[in-house]
Amino acid sequence: MPVRIAVLGSTGSIGTQALDVISRFPDEFRVDLLAAGNNAELLAKQARKFLPDSVIISNKSLYSKLKKDLSGTGVKVFAGEEAMESAIAGSDASIVITAIVGYSGLRSTIAAIKAGKKIALANKETLVVAGAIINKLVADYGSSIIPVDSEHSAIFQCLAGEEISSVEKITLTASGGPFLKIPAEKLHAVKPKDALKHPNWNMGDKVTIDSATMMNKGLEVIEAKWLFDLDPEKIKVIIHPQSIIHSFVHFTDGSVKAQLGIPDMRLPILYALGYPKRITSDLPRLDFLKYPDFSFIEPDMKKFRNLALAYRALKRGGNMPCVLNAANEVAVRAFLEEKIGIMQMPDVVENALENNQYLSAPNLEGLEGSDQQARETAHTFIKNIHIKR
């Protein structure tokens, strides 16, 4: 029988690529549930194609339209965050792809974990914000997490058959984004349309902007700490503009493992869905003759301050990664709306880290409060930037 899959965030970049993978293997996978935030039109189109048992739209105002569009299909339609959590818990899906971007994906991921589902984790913010809580829940409810991020998938694959105690360090690779070769003093003039032109990867707006500021890599550093139980000092970052080597694991005997592949998110998605077996696919192959040179660059922490701020939040711990993430989400939205420049985004994040209450061991309610407070702090800071103008 095909493995039944729920796709949370099905209308986003990862969600649509996951559905492309699923469509290629009808004997292996079947869609059981689809969930999206606001794109009811695309969600309805996906539902008509895959005929899942149910669909959920987070925006309750779109429920009637979605219900009408799916009339006669037999697909159950729900709306709202609480309905999403209930539907996930009652779903027959054994794998849940968590691809809702940002903090908003936390609650649905927790619902899937509590239902004992296997999690194909594409929402890095879940572990960034609540790593300790998530890992405890995974252990308590017999769930498991397989990372979908290309870098963490690479580390996961390199660790197969290895003892974590034999790991000296890991190195996450970064493309460097669209501004790698642009001097810092010229970045003040860049516009959102410039930042959205990623040289290698096809990603959604939020992740693409995070890549341009290297906050995406900072979030991945924090995620790696919880995925692989590593101290911050053992998690390094290096810029690899070709995006072919997706990450390295360095072992205590001096050897190094790396995972390579073309920059195509469908590869780590397929690996996560098929794990522990590899599924033969017709996805594009890596031709080394097209990539005769690999280069590596040390990241400039002054130019890409967000990466340094992420390490700072990780080392302090507690609710600081939550504050970092919340302030960054506000900063990204403000930049996309051209309310601030790209070089002001780290200022927003740093101000939030310095002006929000520190909690050493927050529970879920404490994290929700920290998230809200950090967003308010960030909005106030951005408003003051406009007043000064």
Mean pLDDT within 38-64: 97
- Stated as kind and residue range, the H or E segment containing 221 is helix 215-228
Mean pLDDT within 180-206: 85
Q: Is the pLDDT of residue 320 over 90?
A: yes
According to CATH, the topology of domain 317-389 is Rna Polymerase Sigma Factor; Chain: A (1.10.1740)
CA torsion sign for 44, 46, 49, 53 is: negative
Q: Is the pLDDT of residue 83 over 80?
A: yes
User: Any idea what the Cα angle at residue 246 is, between residues 273 and 281, rounded to 5°?
Assistant: 40
Ranges 182-191, 318-327, 365-374: which has the least confidence: 182-191
List, for residues 111-160, the tens digit of each pLDDT value: 999 999 999 999 888 999 999 999 999 999 999 999 999 999 999 999 99
Domain spans of the chain?
3-147, 151-262+285-305, 317-389
- Predicted local distance difference test score (pLDDT) of residue 386: 67
- Predicted local distance difference test score (pLDDT) of residue 199: 74
Between 273 and 208, where is the model more confident? 273
Domain over 3-147 is classified CATH 3.40.50.720: yes
Q: Is the pLDDT of residue 389 over 60?
A: no
